[in-house]
Amino acid sequence: MVKGAEAGTTKRRGRAKAPPADSSALPQERLLQAYRDMLLIRRFEEKAGQLYGMGLIGGFCHLYIGQEAVVVGMQMCLQPGDQVITSYRDHGHMLATGMEARGVMAELTGREGGYSKGKGGSMHMFSREKGFFGGHGIVGAQVSLGTGLAFANMYRDNGNVCLTYYGEGAANQGQVYESYNLAALFKLPVVYIIENNRYGMGTSMERASASKDRSKDGAPWNIPGEQVDGMDVEAVRLAGERAVAHCREGKGPYILEMLTYRYRGHSMSDPAKYRTREEVQKMREQHDPIETARKRLLERGQDEAGLKTVDDDVKRIVAEAADFAQSSPEPDESELWTDILVEAR
């Protein structure tokens, strides 16, 4: 189902103009759209958690709940042809790039209707059409790969930018620093987005890194960086516009450290012994990105009925995705042997 739409390849484009940096709050309709996109991720992930509990999703399943403002805010800064790449906590990124919920959910259940025909699973989905380049399971590997996507933009001189996401845990990997050097050296259009959710699996950043401010990690190469409230979609979008404009102007890479939080465990099997229930509760109550957006919308004149429509719409999409993910058949056994090599032309 997904395949037909994926046939397009990256086309050459003229150099895109950098949009003027918007210093004001989001226009109401864009904030409403952001609210909807975040809510879709939240409800999708909740449903994925349920399906996992029912045994319909296997293996690893890393939920994005709590971090929604990061991808949604950043995605608002992109133009057609820009790329996104991330780690294995990737469902939110897929939905934010516009990949269909049903195709993602069906991949989680390992069905033929999934984006990878059931052969990738939670951690490995891709969509050329939407500019989503995975979905990578080796911590930190996507940072070099994203640097390469940006290299291709430079090579093609297409004015596009690559958003490369990783956690503060991955930021300790050596290839991340190799990538910083390469990106700065070649002035590659890549925004490095460190989603600092405080814990690399069960190890807090304080216990894993001597660096306390990851936005400064690019300092040796003069890569500008800033810390951003990753729980505030408007703040994310503003910082994102600055970073993306910097890249589009040919000034090289930019680092954004998103201070965020995941409400759920690292994966489904997380014992959650490394932090208190109160800590999680406090974040949910005081900093929830979706609740914050909802309050702002209402303050700025949005009526409850409109939000209810959005909520219902999202609920319907997720329910439909869950149904599809259970009704789509498992891949044909012949699929075991396909897609190992591209057949020579």
Partner 1 sequence: MGATILMPALSPTMTEGKLARWLKKEGDSVAAGDVIAEIETDKATMEVEAVDEGTLTKLLVAEGTENVAVNSPIAEIDGGDGGNASAGPQQPVSNATMQGGETGAIAEQAEDHGAVAARGAQERPEAKAEPKMPAAEPEKDWGETKSITVREALRDAMAAEMRADDKVFLMGEEVAQYQGAYKISQGLLDEFGPKRVVDTPITEHGFTGMAVGAAFTGLKPIVEFMTFNFSMQAIDQIVNSAAKTLYMSGGQLGCPIVFRGPNGAAARVAAQHSQDYASWFAHVPGLKVVAPWSAADAKGLLRAAIRDPNPVIVLENEILYGQSFECPTAEDFILPIGKAKVERQGKDVTIVAYSIEVGLAMQAAEKLAEEGIEAEVVNLRTIRPLDIDTVVASVKKTNRLVTVEEGWAFSGIGGEVAMQVIEHAFDHLDAPPVRVAGKDVPMPYAANLEKLALPTIADVIDAVKQATYRK
Binding region for partner 1 (CB under 8 A): 3, 6, 9-10, 83, 85, 114-120, 124-128, 133-138, 141, 143-152, 155-156, 174-175, 178-179, 181-182, 185, 338-342, 344-345
Q: Which is nearer to partner 1, 117 or 296 (CB)?
A: 117
Least distance to partner 1, CB of residue 285, Å: 38
Tell me the pairing of strands 190-196 and 162-167.
parallel
Q: Determine the 3-state secondary structure of 141 from DSSP.
A: helix
Compare residues 120 and 289 and give the one whose CB is closer to partner 1.
120
Distance CA 23, CA 156 (A): 31
DSSP 171: G
Rounded to the nearest whole angstrom, what is the least distance from the CB of residue 3 to partner 1 in the complex?
Answer: 8
CB of 51 to partner 1, least distance (A): 20
Report angle CA 198, 204, 209 to the nearest 5 degrees. 95
- Minimum CB–partner distance for residue 262 and partner 1 (Å): 24
State which residue, 127 or 260, has the beta carbon closest to partner 1.
127
Per the DSSP assignment, residues forming a β-bridge with 192 are: 164, 255
Q: How far is the CB of 147 from partner 1 (least distance, A)?
A: 5
DSSP state of 216: G
The residue (of 119 and 216) whose beta carbon lies closer to partner 1 is 119
Helix segments in 258-303, DSSP class H: 277-287, 289-299
Nearer residue to partner 1 within complex by CB, 183 or 297:
183
Q: Are 105 and 57 in contact (CB under 8 A)?
A: no
Q: Which residue number, 39 or 161, has a Cβ lying nearer to partner 1?
A: 161
Q: Report the alpha-carbon distance of residue 137 to residue 166 in Å, rounded.
A: 11
Sheet holding 83-86, edge to edge: 132-135, 83-86, 162-167, 190-196, 254-259, 225-229
To partner 1, the closest distance from the beta carbon of 254 in angstroms equals 17
- φ, ψ (nearest 5 deg) of residue 194: -90, 110
